[in-house]
A and B are shown apart, each in its own frame.
Chain A
Amino acid sequence: MALLQIAEPGMSAAPHEHRLVVGIDLGTTNSLVATIRHGLPEVLADEAGRPLLPSIVRYRADGKVEVGQPAQQHQASDPRNTIVSVKRFMGRGVKDVEHVENLPFDFVDAPGMLQLRTVAGIKNPIEVSAEILRVLYQRAGAALGGDLVGAVITVPAYFDEAQRQATRDAARLAGINVLRLLNEPTAAAVAYGLDTSAEGIYAVYDLGGGTFDISILKLTKGVFEVLSTGGDSALGGDDFDHRLFCWALEQADLSLLPPEDVSLLTMKARAAKELLSSKSSAILQARLAGGRWVNLTIAADAFAAMTRHLVQKTLDATRRALRDARLKPADIQGVVLVGGATRMPHVRRAVADLFGREPLTNIDPDKVVALGAAMQANLLAGNRPPGDDWLLLDVIPLSLGLETMGGLVEKLIARNSTIPIVRAQEFTTFKDGQTAMAIHVVQGERELVSDCRSLARFELRGFPPLTAGAARIRVTFQVDADGLLAVTARESTSGVEATVSVKPSYGLSDEEVARLLQESMGAADSDMRERALREQQVDGKRLLAAVRTALAADPDLLGVEERTTIEARMRALEHLIGGRDAQPLREALEALSRATDEFAARRMDRSIRVALSGKRVDELTK
Chain B
Amino acid sequence: MPIQDDHFSLFGLPARFAVDPRALEEAYKRVQARIHPDRFAAASAAERRVAMQWAARANEAFQTLRSPLRRAAYLCELSGTRIDAESNTAMPAAFLAQQMRWREDLDEARASTDKAQLQPLMEETGALRATTLKHLEATLDEARDFRTAAALVRQLMFIEKFGDELAALAETTAAGAG
What residues of A have a CB within 8 angstroms of the CB of B32 in the complex?
391, 393
Residue of B with least CB distance to A620: B1
Q: Is there an interface contact between A179 and B43, defined as CB atoms closer than 8 Å?
A: no
Distance, CA A611 to CA B10, complexed state (A): 11
Q: Is B34 an interface residue (CB 8 A)?
A: yes
Residues 1-21 of chain A: 1 if any B CB is under 8 Å from the residue's CB, otherwise 0? 111100001101100000100
Residues 417-433 of chain A: 1 if any B CB is under 8 Å from the residue's CB, otherwise 0? 11111100000000000
Q: Is there an interface contact between B29 and A612, defined as CB atoms closer than 8 Å?
A: no
What residues of B have a CB within 8 angstroms of the CB of A10 in the complex?
33-34, 39
Partner of B4, one of A2, A478, A612: A612
Q: Is there an interface contact between B34 and A601, defined as CB atoms closer than 8 Å?
A: no
Q: Is there an interface contact between B46 and A391, defined as CB atoms closer than 8 Å?
A: no
Distance, CA A314 to CA B51, complexed state (A): 36
What residues of B have a CB within 8 angstroms of the CB of A380 in the complex?
38, 41-42
Residue of B with least CB distance to A2: B44
Q: Is B140 an interface residue (CB 8 A)?
A: no
Q: Is there an interface contact between A391 and B59, defined as CB atoms closer than 8 Å?
A: no
Distance, CA A247 to CA B20, complexed state (A): 58
Distance, CA A447 to CA B36, complexed state (A): 33
Distance, CA A612 to CA B44, complexed state (A): 21
Partner of B40, one of A9, A422, A598, A621: A9
Residues 79-114 of chain A: 1 if any B CB is under 8 Å from the residue's CB, otherwise 0? 000000000000000000000000000000000000
Residue of B with least CB distance to A149: B42
Q: Is there an interface contact between A421 and B35, defined as CB atoms closer than 8 Å?
A: no
Residue of B with least CB distance to A597: B46
Q: Is there an interface contact between A612 and B50, defined as CB atoms closer than 8 Å?
A: no
Among the interface residues B4, B39, B45, B171, which one has the most CB atoms of the partner chain A within 10 A? B39
Among the interface residues B51, B56, B60, which one has the most CB atoms of the partner chain A within 10 A? B56
What residues of A have a CB within 8 angstroms of the CB of B53 in the complex?
420, 422
Distance, CA A417 to CA B60, complexed state (A): 10
Residues 42-85 of chain B: 1 if any A CB is under 8 Å from the residue's CB, otherwise 0? 11111101111111110110110000000000000000000000
The residues in A between 367 and 414 inclusive whose CB is less than 8 angstroms from any CB of B are: 376, 379-382, 391-393
Q: Is there an interface contact between B42 and A601, defined as CB atoms closer than 8 Å?
A: no
- In angstroms, how far is the closest chain A Cβ from the Cβ of B86? 13
Q: Is A604 an interface residue (CB 8 A)?
A: yes
Q: Is there an interface contact between A481 and B52, defined as CB atoms closer than 8 Å?
A: yes
Distance, CA A4 to CA B63, complexed state (A): 30
Partner of A422, one of B36, B43, B56: B56
Q: Is there an interface contact between B50 and A601, defined as CB atoms closer than 8 Å?
A: yes
Q: Is there an interface contact between B3 and A601, defined as CB atoms closer than 8 Å?
A: no
Q: Is B159 an interface residue (CB 8 A)?
A: no
Q: Is A569 an interface residue (CB 8 A)?
A: no
The residues in A between 548 and 604 inclusive whose CB is less than 8 angstroms from any CB of B are: 593, 596-598, 600-601, 604
Known: A420-B37, A422-B53, A480-B52. A609 touches B47 (CB 8 A): no
What residues of B have a CB within 8 angstroms of the CB of A604 in the complex?
40, 43, 46-47, 50-51
What residues of B have a CB within 8 angstroms of the CB of A147 in the complex?
none
Distance, CA A220 to CA B32, complexed state (A): 14
Residues 3-25 of chain B: 1 if any A CB is under 8 Å from the residue's CB, otherwise 0? 11000001000000000000000
Residue of A with least CB distance to B10: A612
Q: Is there an interface contact between A608 and B35, defined as CB atoms closer than 8 Å?
A: yes
What residues of B have a CB within 8 angstroms of the CB of A144 in the complex?
none
- In angstroms, how far is the closest chain A Cβ from the Cβ of B62? 8
Distance, CA A149 to CA B42, complexed state (A): 9
What residues of B have a CB within 8 angstroms of the CB of A597 in the complex?
44-46
Q: Is there an interface contact between A391 and B29, defined as CB atoms closer than 8 Å?
A: yes
What residues of A have a CB within 8 angstroms of the CB of B52 in the complex?
420, 478, 480-481
The residues in A between 1 and 50 inclusive whose CB is less than 8 angstroms from any CB of B are: 1-4, 9-10, 12-13, 19
Residue of B with least CB distance to A615: B3
Q: Is A605 an interface residue (CB 8 A)?
A: yes
Known: A10-B39, A481-B38, A481-B55. A601 touches B29 (CB 8 A): no
Partner of A612, one of B35, B49, B56: B35
Q: Is there an interface contact between B46 and A598, defined as CB atoms closer than 8 Å?
A: yes
Q: Is B31 an interface residue (CB 8 A)?
A: yes
Known: A10-B34, A604-B47, A620-B3. A478 touches B41 (CB 8 A): no
Residue of A with least CB distance to B45: A597
Q: Is A317 an interface residue (CB 8 A)?
A: no
Distance, CA A381 to CA B42, complexed state (A): 6
Among the interface residues B37, B41, B52, B62, which one has the most CB atoms of the partner chain A within 10 A? B41
The 5 closest A-B pairs by CB, nearest first: A380-B41, A600-B46, A604-B50, A481-B37, A422-B56
With A376-B38, A593-B44, A604-B40 given, name 7 new contacts (CB 8 A).
Answer: A2-B44, A149-B42, A380-B42, A422-B53, A609-B3, A611-B34, A612-B31
Would you give 30 A-B contacts (Cβ < 8 Å), ordered by A? A2-B44, A3-B44, A4-B44, A4-B47, A9-B51, A19-B42, A223-B29, A223-B33, A379-B38, A382-B42, A391-B33, A391-B36, A393-B32, A420-B53, A480-B37, A481-B52, A481-B55, A596-B46, A598-B46, A600-B47, A601-B47, A601-B49, A604-B40, A608-B34, A609-B4, A611-B34, A612-B3, A612-B31, A620-B3, A621-B1
